[in-house]
Homo-oligomer: A and B are copies of this chain.
Amino acid sequence: MTIQEIRADELDPAQFIQTRVSAIREAVGDGLAINALSGGVDSSVVTMLGHRALGDRLQTVFVENGLMRQGEPQQIVDRFRELGVPVAIHDARDRFFAALRGLTDPEAKREAITQTFYRDVFADLVRSSGARFLLQGTILTDVDETVAGIKRQHNVLAQLGIDPQAAFGYRVLEPLIELRKDGVRKVGAALGLPEAVYQRMPFPGPALAARVIGEVTSERVAAVRLATAVLEEELAASQPFQVMAILHADRVTGMRDGRRDYGHQIEVRCWDSVDARAATPTRLDYDTLDRLAARLVTEVPGVVSVTYNITPKPPSTMEAI
């Protein structure tokens, strides 16, 4: 199957929305569909498109994996409620942290998060929903990266442990598959999504777990969550391309109340970039860096040291692991 790319500059969003809404209606008929909303651009656009096509016959679930930013699950649900789209929060934090226990290898951690999402949590939700149609926000870049071996297979049914050949007739709908990110943003704008959603800062699939070096526990994620909130608050005005806090596993010596304190280090990365393919560290002024360090060592328990990454991509990558 060859997918015909629709370039953003050729895209007519209104027409695209109309044809995709019709296609979804035709496919689903009077059946039920389900989709998982992560809050990212692609899944947000699919959610809007699916609701325009199916209304209440699309069930949208936000899986709370315990790895999201401060207040993020509720914020996403509230935002969609304001748009008239109900989203159910499914609390699966314990299952994710149980799956991550003791893992330190980055690939093993990523795999545990993916498996927990698809095989455990989402598979249960799909089966109990009675839906036979899954809406997915796959875009052309995902397909390219799967072919190139950079990303995992986007064969969702196989990941759910559901045989698509079986009599049940499960079917995956991927209405954005001919678009790239810039096209998806145009469609998002035309669907009436707020700019904060369709222009959202890139955020990795494994969420804050990608910013915990070593074992991912709820305490360590909480430290990164708090640090991230500080960074986003302090740098809100300068609107960086991307800013992140990374909790290291290496411990370093510090001093608290005149005593040695073998504590934690947070690494801050703040990127200038056009398209994420190349990036340079933002030249934050030292008054800002001082303020970030002062707040992080005060507000994040156990942190005695803060660094700022000064390496461009390449040879660095934007995320640490």
Task: Count residues of chain A with CB under 8 A from any CB of chain B.
Answer: 41
Taking the nearest CB of chain B, how far is it from the CB of A200, in angstroms?
Answer: 22
Task: Please judge, given known A-B contacts A293-B311, A293-B312, A312-B293, whether A253 and B321 are in contact too, CB under 8 Å.
Answer: yes
Q: Is A189 an interface residue (CB 8 A)?
A: no
User: Quick check: B255 and A314 within 8 Å, CB to CB?
Assistant: yes
User: Quick check: B304 and A307 within 8 Å, CB to CB?
Assistant: no
User: Quick check: A254 and B316 within 8 Å, CB to CB?
Assistant: yes
Chain B residues with CB under 8 Å of A249's CB are 249-250
Task: Please judge, given known A-B contacts A106-B253, A253-B320, A321-B252, whether A315 and B310 are in contact too, CB under 8 Å.
Answer: no
Chain B residues with CB under 8 Å of A307's CB are 267, 307-311
User: Quick check: A314 and B252 within 8 Å, CB to CB?
Assistant: no
Task: Please judge, given known A-B contacts A213-B250, A250-B249, A254-B317, whether A306 and B297 are in contact too, CB under 8 Å.
Answer: no
Q: Is A305 an interface residue (CB 8 A)?
A: yes
Distance of A252 Cα from B311 Cα, bound (Å): 12
Task: Please judge, given known A-B contacts A214-B250, A248-B250, A253-B106, whether A290 and B315 are in contact too, CB under 8 Å.
Answer: no
Which 9 pairs from chain A and chain B are nearest by CB? A307-B307, A255-B314, A289-B310, A283-B286, A293-B310, A252-B320, A253-B317, A304-B315, A213-B250
